[in-house]
Amino acid sequence: MFRALLDRLSAALPSQCAVCHAWPTPVLCEACVARFAQPRPRCRSCALQVPQDLERCGACIKETPPLDLCLAAVTYEYPWSGLVGHYKFGARPGWSMALALLMRSTPWAEPALEAAELVLPMPLSRERLRERGFNQALELARQLAPGKADATLLVRLRDTPAQSSLPRPARLRNVRGAFGVAPGREKEIEGRRLVLVDDVMTSGASLCTAALALRAAGAAHITGLVLARTE
């Protein structure tokens, strides 16, 4: 209740655009969204950019990921790469509402969220949670679907080194077995439509590993929804 009140107060107060620094505007002004967040054709399975007439990239045609649908609001490039860094590491959870609105405006995101019965954030390790003070995926999930977000159903079973400096094969090995469904709660997953939320998708190793754990528990349909996708 207190969090919801703070969110409403933040939305009502004038602020500075996090991209162009115009004042007073929302955290993301209309001009910057129009300039830097235009929808791009993306692979339906991994959200990589593809030519206009293609639904899937070659890698996903060759080996289908465990996600039924994967959506990304923007590409992880200027200005979004810097903005995401400030959001996560600069203690700016108040940006979550604006970033979630950008994600929800992504083509196919609204129907996926409406159809989902549960919206699950990617869990953060205890060490990173202490460092940042908040789980950005959880804050985004709460803004995307307040009544459906569940932060305790998908759990991190072990901490892993940072993924950013690893090649894709090493990333897959790094997160193997890192996620699971909370013990005794598998029935809550069985037959359900889920949306899995994260801030940035790089190789997709973490999202796919989490999706495999949810699939093993009987999930009927899994959509990955991220703020930014690297190329």
The number of folded domains in the chain is 1
Residue 62 falls inside a structural domain: no
Predicted pLDDT of residue 159: 64
C-alpha to C-alpha distance for 142 and 148, rounded to whole angstroms: 8
C-alpha to C-alpha distance for 210 and 178, rounded to whole angstroms: 8
Least confident of 59-73, 164-178, 193-207: 164-178
C-alpha to C-alpha distance for 209 and 171, rounded to whole angstroms: 10
Residue 214 falls inside a structural domain: yes
* Domain enclosing residue 111, as ranges: 67-229
Alpha-carbon torsion (76, 108, 62, 137), positive or negative: positive
199 with 87: CB under 8 angstroms?
yes
The rounded percent of the chain whose pLDDT value lies above 70 is 85
Residue 131 confidence (pLDDT) above 90:
no
Residue 4 falls inside a structural domain: no
The beta-strand segments (E) located in 22-181 are: 69-75, 118-121, 154-156, 179-181
CB-CB neighbours of 217 under 10 Å: 20
Residue 158 falls inside a structural domain: yes
207 with 122: CB under 8 angstroms?
yes
Residue 3 confidence (pLDDT) above 70:
no
Residue 140 falls inside a structural domain: yes
Residue 196 falls inside a structural domain: yes
pTM: 0.89
The CATH number of the domain where 126 resides is what?
3.40.50
> Mean pLDDT, to the nearest integer, of 60-69?
94
Residue 35 confidence (pLDDT) above 50:
yes
Residue 9 falls inside a structural domain: no
C-alpha to C-alpha distance for 84 and 77, rounded to whole angstroms: 10
Residue 97 falls inside a structural domain: yes
pLDDT tens profile 108-128? 999 999 999 999 999 988 888
> Mean pLDDT, to the nearest integer, of 69-88?
96
More confident residue, 136 or 174: 136
